[in-house]
Structure 1
Amino acid sequence: MTKIAFITGATAGIGEACAKKMAKVGYDLIISGRREENLIRLKEEILKEHQCNIYKLVLDVRQQEEVFEKINSLPEEWKKIDLLVNNAGLAVGVSAIQDGIVDDWERMIDTNIKGLLYITRAVSPLMIERKQGHIINVTSIAGKEVYPGGNVYCATKHAADALTKGMRIDMLPHNIKVSSVAPGMVETEFSIVRFKGNKDKADQVYNGFTPLYAEDIAETVEFIATRPAHVNINDILIMPTAQASARDVVRN
């Protein structure tokens, strides 16, 4: 029986790459995100390459009622979710705490913490009912270390790291695996969002070295998801070769 992977934030970057990778290894997909046009494009791209079923779910993880309504309204055959990739997340701004923009804080907290919680709360009972499943949370080096200008973003990713550990304990009696993958610098839309559309500033983040790419993280998610039933990968921290910590990067 074909397994189902539910991937949040699938409209670009890591989520899109994860959807393509999991389709390649034989999963049916629930792809979710806010930008319907991107989901339509992704579905078309995948179906050109792979024979799988894809359910498109236009969804904002920050909206509690919307999350529960849409997941509870999934057709019964799509509720048999084997893999949940909690990928939706963002950073906004680089202000010091005393200059912080509260709206930026709210966006990060609502997406990176509350969104992860809403999705997990809606999906995990479906896994518990079947006594099987795997939750993979995409966290960050920012969940392990703190750096200048990262204050609230780092706090949200530290929370995601702690929630992953708590989920693993809570899911243990139900035969459900819980893992995290924590990337260093990945060249996606991440910095464009962080700098609010300023592409020049976003490009400077990756100047002078080879960062990670979305496909690198998707391959890691695939590795975690395809271990034998008796093996769980708790946590993978993955960095570019040129990056040793959140702050230490060698640029040419």
Structure 2
Amino acid sequence: MKKALITGATDGIGREIVKELANRDYSLIIHGRNREKAAKVVAELKKTNNRDYNIEIADLESQLEVYQMAERIKSSQKKVDILINNAGTYQQNFKYSQDKIEKTLAVNFHSHFILTLFLLKNIQNSNDPRIINVSSISHSSKIDLNDIWEPKNYDAMKAYKDSKTAMNLFTFKLARLYQNKIAINCLDPGVIDTKVLRRGWSLNGSPAENGAITPVYLADSEKVKGETGNYYINKRKSKPASITYDKDLQDQLWNKSIEMIKHQEIKSAIKKIINQVEY
């Protein structure tokens, strides 16, 4: 039985992803920020599929909580077949994360950067390892990698777009490093009725279950087994902004993301992981 970890699994698209994967007999690790909400998701799943589900609680604006969650998963799970980095936020006003990083970037991208690197060994223990990063068609066509961590002039829409550009850059960098080892892809889920859409665009989109279609396809379909380094819309390969293919920019973001880890214990562990990657 394959095991999948989904971040932001207690609401919106994430909740629909876990429902669909549960129907396909996956073993699931359900991440959320609120234990009561996560327990409600599990209770709902058990109405139709009475198996054990793992709950992981962590606030993704905290590097320490992300690290602690990763360590718990590493020690309790020999393998993680699929990691779906889905959790996201939209902040109307400038806010710092717990580690003094702009909160949208911290949650949408940097937390997933840390989590993914810590779980790489567990993911590689799978016979069909896959990492799926939920991005957005609303990503930026240009980005200032020095400004995004603490913007001089905060703009909520720009911060959100930049966080998704960072997710694309990270996807393509990681796919380069793990070519033929892990299938690593990113996607736009569509214009979906989520809190992010309502808060940022004041729109009502398609039902949340529609947003789960492409992530589940990338997680489960044999048609994309081994496919890596791609960006998908509606289950089809598409092209994101050209800057996301810039290898120098990918490398700059990678190095800056390590630099912006504020806890020496986490930074040292990440550097050890990176030193083991074969270039």
Counterpart amino acid of 1:179? N
In structure 1, the partner of 2:220 is 226
Residue 17 (structure 1) shift: 0.6
Name the structure 1 match of 2:112. Answer: 116
Aligned pair in 2 of structure 1 residues 144, 22: CA closer, same or farther (>3 Å)?
farther
Q: Separation in 2 of the partners of 1:149 and 1:7?
A: 25
Q: 1:74 to 1:164 in 2, by over 3 A?
A: closer
Instruction: Note if contact 1:26-1:52 (Cα within 8 Å) is conserved in structure 2.
Output: no
TM-score by length of 2: 0.70
What is residue 156 of structure 1 aligned with on the other side?
A: 163
Residue pairs, 1:40-189, within 5 angstroms: 40-74=39-73, 76=75, 78-93=77-92, 101=94, 103=96, 106-130=102-126, 132-143=128-139, 150-173=157-180, 175-189=181-195
Name which of 208, 212, 215 aligns with 2:206: 212
Give a deviation string over 1:168-187, Cα, whole Å, max 9, x none.
Answer: 111214x2101112134210
Q: Is the 8 A contact 2:191 2:197 kept in 1?
A: no
- Change in 2 beyond 3 A, CA 1:230/1:110: closer
1:79 & 1:143 partners in 2: Cα distance?
35
Structure 2, unmatched stretches of 5+, are 143-154, 236-279
* Gap change, CA 1:77 and 1:151, over 3 Å in 2: closer
- Tell me by how many angstroms 1:53 deviates: 2.6
Preserved contact between residue 67 and residue 114 of structure 2 (Cα < 8 Å): yes
Aligned 8 A contact 1:27 1:52 in 2: no
Q: TM-score, normalised by structure 1?
A: 0.77
SS in 1 for 2:47: helix
**How many residues matched?**
218
1:232 maps to a residue whose letter is E
Give CA deviations for 1:28-64 in whole Å, capped at 9, x if unaligned.
0000110111100000000111243310111112222
Tell me which residue corresponds to 1:235: 231
Instruction: Check the 8 A contact 1:4/1:30 in 2, yes or no.
Output: yes
Q: Which residue of structure 2 lines up, in the alignment, with residue 250 of structure 1?
A: none
For the 8 Å contact 2:74–2:119, the answer to whether it is kept is no
Which residue matches 1:242?
A: none
For residues 34 and 139 of structure 1, the distance between their equivalents in structure 2, rounded to whole angstroms, comes to 20
Distance in 2 (CA, whole Å) between partners of 1:64 and 1:107 is: 12
Give how far 1:74 is off.
3.2
Q: Supply the distance in 1 between the matched residues of 2:171 and 2:49 (Cα, whole angstroms).
A: 31
Identity of aligned residues (%): 26
What is the rounded CA distance, in whole Å, between the counterparts of 1:44 and 1:53 in structure 2? 11
- 8 A Cα contact 1:6 1:31, kept in partner: yes
Q: Which moves more between the two structures, 213-222 or 21-30? A: 213-222
Runs of 4+ in 1 over 6 A off after TM superposition: none
Q: Give 5+ residue unaligned stretches, structure 1.
A: 94-99, 196-201, 240-252
RMSD, aligned α-carbons: 2.6
Q: 1:216 to 1:144 in 2, by over 3 A?
A: farther
